[in-house]
Amino acid sequence: MNDKENRSRSRNETSTRTGMGASRPSRRIVAGHTRPCAECGLVDWKLDDSRGEVSCNSCGLVVEENVIDPGAEWTNHANTGVDRSRVGAPITHTLADKGLNTSIAASDLTSGGASRNGISARSRREWRRRRVIDERSKTRQSKIRNRVKAFQYIRDRSQLPSSLKEEACRIYGMLSDEGFVTGRSIAGVTAACTYLVARKEGIPRQIPDLAEKFHVGEKELSRLIRGVSRRFNMHTITLPPQFFPKFVSDLELPPETMMALDGLWNTIEPHTDIWQGKKPMGVAAALIYKAAAEGGTRRTQSDICKVANVSEVTLRGLIKQIDGLLKSIGSPSA
């Protein structure tokens, strides 16, 4: 009886308020804790985020430990102060192990890094030996070794944004799991993945450029692109306007050229017999030749052909067809 009276008296004293709401007791509720405290009888809980504990704010009774924080992860992007991140770096498809394995950084084992970390010369040699053993133990399977090499190709040679590098590495990983890479060139398959991902996102790469960067033949790369495209149903049509920004930049033409190019393309786009079935790079080169001439910034056919990777014969033939179309429809650009 005395315990009940003491709890009731404590609750009445703690809940004494003035003004509006003076008759209502304090009910600070934490998720999952709505009942009164077993010690003092109050409903006044608090959550300590740093310790992961739920305790009574009145008597200090701890009723739950190791509480999982469902909130967003906090990361110190400014590299100032202590980084409170609990989960480490995010998973990435650009690494063969997706970044989940722990590795010994070579930069920490240089003479300067070792001295900063207080590592003696003898310990440094020992850690170098351990690092070599660690790297070898992770890549005993040939498939994993090939992935390491392939992902390095994509990171170093694709010149794609980070998100597209991730996608290209993911596609290569799927091809490797399905056995598509077996018997084929690793560099060729990575170049094909790079080409298809870039084309899908509207920033197409030219086959000759990729073949040169990845050190594969153009015919081999074209064959691999068709094979990967059929397997994942990634066939898309590349239009000439997708090459306008790159060609204009490579030829160092003024920004006004893009407006003239858009006007020319809008004129010939309905006439599909002029440009469908032809190399989009060649059509883009022909339109750039005309737009540059109209804007007073003429470029030679030879310069344009080098940028577009088409022959001068092809370029002259396309220019002739476009001129004939513009004259037939009475366009002022004829």
CATH class (in words) of the domain with range 240-328: mainly alpha
Which pLDDT does position 25 carry in this prediction?
Answer: 41
Please report the pLDDT score of residue 112 as a whole number.
74
Cα 308–chain centre separation: 28
- Running along the chain, 334 residues long, what does each successive block of 10 average in pLDDT? 52 45 44 76 83 87 79 60 60 71 72 74 83 71 80 90 91 91 93 93 87 93 93 84 91 90 90 86 92 90 92 92 87 66
Calculate the dihedral angle through the C-alpha atoms of 15, 21, 24, 28, rounding to the nearest 10 degrees.
-70
Q: Are strands 62-64 and 53-56 parallel, antiparallel or unpaired?
A: antiparallel
In this prediction, residue 95 carries a pLDDT of 75
C-alpha 116/C-alpha 332 separation (Å) is 71
Three-point CA angle 246, 251, 254, nearest 5°: 90
pLDDT score recorded for residue 80: 59
pLDDT in tens, 294-308: 888 999 999 999 999
Three-state secondary-structure class, residue 53: strand
Was domain 151-232 assigned CATH 3.20.20.80? no
Structural domain boundaries of the chain?
2-64, 106-138, 151-232, 240-328
Burial class, 94, CB count within 10 angstroms (exposed 0-12 / middle 13-18 / buried 19+): middle
Q: φ and ψ at 127, to 5 degrees?
A: -70, -30
Q: Note the pTM of the prediction, 2 decimals.
A: 0.58
Position 304 scores a pLDDT of 93
> Span 2-64: which CATH code?
2.20.25
Domains 2-64 and 151-232 share a fold: no
Pair of tokens at residue 277: 């079935």
